[in-house]
């Protein structure tokens, strides 16, 4: 039985719309589990999949996508049909929660694996023939599997949150040379923990699906009581599906993380992102065990666990000598104090770190979003992190349900305050409704606030361009990628993509180069090649 896993995450309608150098953890985990179970396995990025001619050799193709990647899924299905693929097609990833839509709209899909893949996959791998036989009785033994039988769609069980011990026992796929073009350029996301510690909810009444009874269970000091809302409001920030899809935060063991990083480096990885909805949740779950970690701000950061994890990663020789760069992804501002910022600075100086604020209106964040993180937390975190040598990026969102003039005005004021501090970039997202969230039924809307939204966009634009001017005259080390006759440079320490001038002939993709920045754009930098350091 031959398996092909296709990483089509964030490919939208066939090409990446943002973060071209990101390789998510999910498809590597799925491919790793299948490979470890002894099956003939291959993981291909969407781009390499589209170049693969010999698709009839595979028995089962598994595609990982997000909700926004349905255009890419269509292209994958077309290609499979063109190549006469007769095997089983399974779709997974964050889009799997829309299994009804997927199975209704794409008749070629055989199954959707809903939510986290480890437990359903384990059942499938015991006897993959079940997928071909399509006997409902046998299929019912595989949890969280959706399929179509005649005109009806079935789901064998609710999705399952993989226990922490299992997360630590997995060996994700690390053979990146066969899976990704320009494998040295990418930032490989290594999952250090799964799930989110915020189980507060939007405390809203009088809206379909949002009927908070003010029982305050989601603010209870008892972590377990926060799990269930009597009004059935999904947990976490109203716009975010992570707690519903992935459950409370669970950390992987240090050994399993370090082992995975070692293998990735052995196979050519040069940039590793320690991936987590909040890196500072790492090991906090161990402090409240056996209760689940459902409070985003208490207990405080587990400094010892993080120090030990980063210490062991920085003991690896290529990390210690700077050949491989390590980053953290997101952190929650309420967990940052001077000790935490100093610890992060000790290992991660010069790298970026992302902080979610969403709006500058504290009341809105707490009661409408269900996010007990305020602008004062973020201002303090930005100050401390930049003092210790990190480069903070802050996230905001516009068009959220229930935003009003006050929310927009407070947010604009906060952007101005942040601009005078050490923030390097403010990322302003447009709200998109997602399944599995409290706001799942509410569309994006800015009616009546168009003037404030455009003011907010202008302020953010000005801050970002001004901050980027800091790069002019600086020399940066970048990894080169050649595409459509141009070179793009991905900074070793992360940051805006550099459009590289001064090298025209192909052949330098994957090379490390030194460039000097001479101009900035709203999203990118312009740089001249000074030297090719290493190929």
User: CA separation (Å) from 3 to 108, 125, 171?
Assistant: 17, 11, 17
> In Å, how far from its chain's centre is CA 412?
26
How big is the CA angle at 445 (ends 439 and 448), to the nearest 5 degrees? 135
Query: Is residue 533 within the footprint of ligand SF4 (CB under 6 A)?
Result: no
Which is nearer to ligand SF4, 201 or 388 (by Cβ)?
A: 201
Question: Applying CB under 6 A, which of residues 51, 214, 289, 505 lies at the interface with ligand SF4?
Answer: 214
Minimum distance from CB of 243 to ligand SF4 (Å)?
Answer: 13
Tell me if the bond preceding 121 is cis, omega within 30° of 0. Answer: no
Q: What's the maximum distance between 2 C-alpha atoms anywhere in the chain?
A: 67
Query: Is residue 217 within the footprint of ligand SF4 (CB under 6 A)?
Result: yes
Two tokens, residue 86: 């007769």
Residue 436 zone, left/alpha/beta (φ > 0; ψ -120 to 50; rest): left
Query: Is residue 223 within the footprint of ligand SF4 (CB under 6 A)?
Result: no
Which range in 138-146, 224-232, 275-283, 449-457 contacts ligand SF4 by CB under 6 A? 224-232
Query: Is residue 229 within the footprint of ligand SF4 (CB under 6 A)?
Result: yes
Query: Is residue 237 within the footprint of ligand SF4 (CB under 6 A)?
Result: no
Which range in 115-123, 226-234, 305-313, 505-513 contacts ligand SF4 by CB under 6 A? 226-234
Question: Applying CB under 6 A, which of residues 13, 104, 140, 216 lies at the interface with ligand SF4?
Answer: 216
What are the beta bridge partners of residue 40?
Answer: 2
Strands (E), 28-131: 40-45, 60-64, 88-92, 111-113
What are the beta bridge partners of residue 154?
Answer: 147
Query: Is residue 218 within the footprint of ligand SF4 (CB under 6 A)?
Result: yes
What contacts 205, CB < 8 A, 6 or more positions away? Answer: 211, 212, 213
As a whole number of Å, the end-to-end CA separation of the chain is 38
Q: How far apart are CA 501 and CA 515, in angstroms?
A: 9
CB atoms inside a 10 Å sphere around CB 208? 7
Count residues near ligand SF4 (CB under 6 A): 13
Which is nearer to ligand SF4, 367 or 499 (by Cβ)?
A: 367
Question: Applying CB under 6 A, which of residues 212, 326, 396, 397 lies at the interface with ligand SF4?
Answer: 212
Query: Is residue 233 within the footprint of ligand SF4 (CB under 6 A)?
Result: yes
Minimum distance from CB of 200 to ligand SF4 (Å)?
Answer: 7
Query: Is residue 213 within the footprint of ligand SF4 (CB under 6 A)?
Result: yes
Tell me if the bond preceding 29 is cis, omega within 30° of 0. Answer: no
Which range in 153-161, 211-219, 305-313, 407-415 contacts ligand SF4 by CB under 6 A? 211-219
Return the closest-CA partner of residue 285 out of 171, 189, 195, 377. Answer: 195
Minimum distance from CB of 368 to ligand SF4 (Å)?
Answer: 11
Question: Applying CB under 6 A, which of residues 23, 203, 481, 525 lies at the interface with ligand SF4?
Answer: 203
Sheet containing 152-155, strands listed edge to edge, beginning at the edge strand earlier in sequence = 40-45, 2-7, 60-64, 88-92, 111-113, 145-149, 152-155
Which range in 42-50, 229-237, 414-422, 445-453 contacts ligand SF4 by CB under 6 A? 229-237
Q: How far apart are CA 31 and CA 179, in angstroms?
A: 11
Query: Is residue 289 within the footprint of ligand SF4 (CB under 6 A)?
Result: no
Residues 143-202 that bind ligand SF4 (CB under 6 A): 201
**Exposed e or buried b per residue across 212-233, where buried means at least 16 C-beta atoms within 10 angstroms of its C-beta:** beeeebbbeeebebbbebebeb
Which is nearer to ligand SF4, 123 or 220 (by Cβ)?
A: 220
Which is nearer to ligand SF4, 230 or 299 (by Cβ)?
A: 230
Which is nearer to ligand SF4, 236 or 495 (by Cβ)?
A: 236
Minimum distance from CB of 364 to ligand SF4 (Å)?
Answer: 15
Binding positions for ligand SF4, rule: CB under 6 A: 201, 203, 212-218, 229-231, 233
């Amino acid at each position: 039985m031959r398996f092909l896993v296709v990483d089509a995450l964030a490919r939208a309608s066939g090409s990446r719309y943002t973060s071209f150098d990101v390789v998510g953890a999910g498809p590597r985990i799925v491919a790793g589990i299948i490979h470890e179970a002894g099956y003939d396995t291959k993981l291909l990025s969407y781009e390499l999949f589209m170049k693969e001619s010999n698709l009839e050799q595979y028995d089962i193709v598994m595609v990982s996508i997000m909700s926004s990647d349905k255009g890419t899924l269509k292209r994958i299905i077309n290609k499979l049909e063109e190549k006469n693929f007769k095997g089983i097609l399974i779709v997974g990833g964050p889009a799997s929660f829309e299994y009804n839509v997927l199975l209704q709209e794409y008749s070629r899909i055989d199954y959707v694996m809903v939510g986290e893949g480890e437990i359903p996959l384990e059942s499938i791998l015991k006897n993959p023939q079940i997928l071909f036989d399509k006997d409902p009785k046998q299929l019912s033994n595989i949890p969280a599997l959706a399929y179509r039988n005649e005109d009806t769609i079935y789901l064998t069980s609710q999705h399952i949150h993989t226990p922490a011990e299992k997360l630590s026992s997995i060996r994700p796929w690390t053979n990146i040379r066969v899976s990704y073009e320009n494998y040295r350029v990418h930032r490989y996301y290594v999952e250090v923990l799964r799930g989110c510690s915020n189980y507060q909810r939007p405390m809203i009444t009088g809206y379909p699906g949002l009927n908070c009874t003010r029982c305050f269970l989601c603010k209870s000091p008892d972590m377990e009581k926060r799990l269930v809302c009597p009004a059935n409001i999904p947990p976490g920030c109203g716009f975010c599906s992570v707690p519903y899809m992935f459950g409370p935060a669970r950390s992987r063991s240090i050994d399993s993380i370090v082992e995975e990083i070692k293998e990735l480096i052995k196979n050519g990885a040069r940039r590793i992102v320690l991936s987590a909805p909040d890196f500072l949740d790492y090991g906090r779950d161990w402090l409240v065990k056996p209760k689940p970690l459902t409070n985003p701000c208490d207990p405080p950061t587990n400094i010892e666990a993080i120090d030990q994890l980063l210490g062991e990663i920085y003991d690896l020789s290529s990390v210690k000598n700077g050949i491989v760069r390590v980053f953290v992804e997101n952190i929650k501002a309420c967990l940052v104090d001077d000790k935490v910022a100093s610890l992060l600075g000790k290992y991660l100086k010069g790298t970026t770190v992302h902080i979610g604020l969403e709006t500058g209106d504290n009341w809105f964040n707490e009661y409408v979003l269900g996010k007990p993180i305020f602008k004062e937390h973020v201002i303090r975190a930005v100050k401390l992190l930049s003092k210790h040598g990190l480069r903070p990026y802050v996230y905001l969102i516009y068009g959220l349900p229930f935003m009003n003039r006050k929310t927009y005005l407070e947010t604009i004021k906060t952007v101005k305050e942040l601009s005078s501090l050490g923030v390097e970039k403010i990322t302003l997202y447009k709200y998109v409704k997602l399944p599995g969230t409290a706001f799942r039924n509410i569309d994006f809307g800015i009616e009546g606030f168009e003037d404030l939204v455009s003011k907010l966009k202008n302020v953010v634009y000005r801050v970002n361009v001004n901050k980027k001017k800091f790069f002019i005259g600086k020399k940066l080390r970048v990894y080169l990628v050649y595409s459509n006759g141009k070179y793009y440079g991905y900074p070793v320490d992360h940051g805006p993509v550099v459009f590289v001038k001064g090298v025209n002939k192909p052949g330098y993709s994957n090379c490390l180069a030194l460039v000097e920045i001479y101009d900035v754009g709203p999203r990118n930098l312009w740089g001249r090649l000074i030297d090719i350091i290493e190929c």
